[in-house]
Amino acid sequence: MPHSPPLSVAVPAITIEAPVVGLGLEPQGHLAAPQVDNPRLVGWYRDGPTPGEAGTSLLVGHRDTRTGPAIFLNLNALVPGDVVHVTREDHRIAVFTVDAVRTYKKEAFPDAEVYGARAGRPELRILTCGGTFDKKTGYASNVVVFAHLTDVKYV
C-alpha cells in the first residue's frame, strides 16, 4: 500500500477504538509516548512506514496513568488470529492479523526482533508497558504485539 498516515485504530477482541497521532523520538532516542493526559490516544511513529506500507509500522499507547486505565490496559490479552484495523487518510483500512504477543524486560529489549520486518512485508507492532510496576522506575517490561497485513478494506 502507498504511504498514508493512520487516523484511528480498532481492536475488536479487546474493545478498542482510538484516534492515532504522529509521534517522533525523545531526545534520548526512544520512541515518544502519547500525552499522558489523554489515556485513550494511540501514537504512531511518523518517521517510519505507515500501517499497510512495506516495513514495520509502530503504534504505542499507555497501559494506565495516575488516574486510571488507559487504551492498552488489556493489550496482553490478544492472541494469535485476533485482528487490528487501522483506518488511514486514504480511506483504506489496513487489516492486520496478530501473530504473537510477547513481553520483554526493558533492559533486554530485542530491538532488531521488534522493529525489524521481513523484506517487503507490511507488519505492525503495538507496544505498551507491562510486567511489574515500581513507583520510582515505572514498569519493568514492554508488551509487544506482532501482526502482519492480511486484508485491505475501503471506508
Judge whether 95 and 151 are in contact, CB under 8 Å. yes
In whole angstroms, what is the distance from residue 106 CA to residue 129 CA? 9
User: Does the predicted model carry a pTM greater than 0.85?
Assistant: yes
Residue written as grid cell 504505542 = 60
What mean pLDDT do residues 74-78 have? Answer: 98
Give the range among 12-16, 87-91, 94-98, 108-112 with minimum mean pLDDT.
Answer: 108-112
**Residue environment code for 140-155, b if the CB has 16+ CB neighbours within 10 A, otherwise e:** bbbbbbbbebeeeeee
pLDDT at position 119 over 80: no
The grid coordinates of residue 60 equal 504505542
In whole angstroms, what is the distance from residue 52 CA to residue 54 CA? 7
Residue 66: per-residue pLDDT: 86
Superfamily assignment of 6-154 in CATH?
Sortase (2.40.260.10)
In whole angstroms, what is the distance from residue 71 CA to residue 8 CA? 12
Mean pLDDT of the chain: 94
Write out pLDDT tens, residues 35-60. 888 999 999 999 999 999 999 999 99
Residue 37: per-residue pLDDT: 87
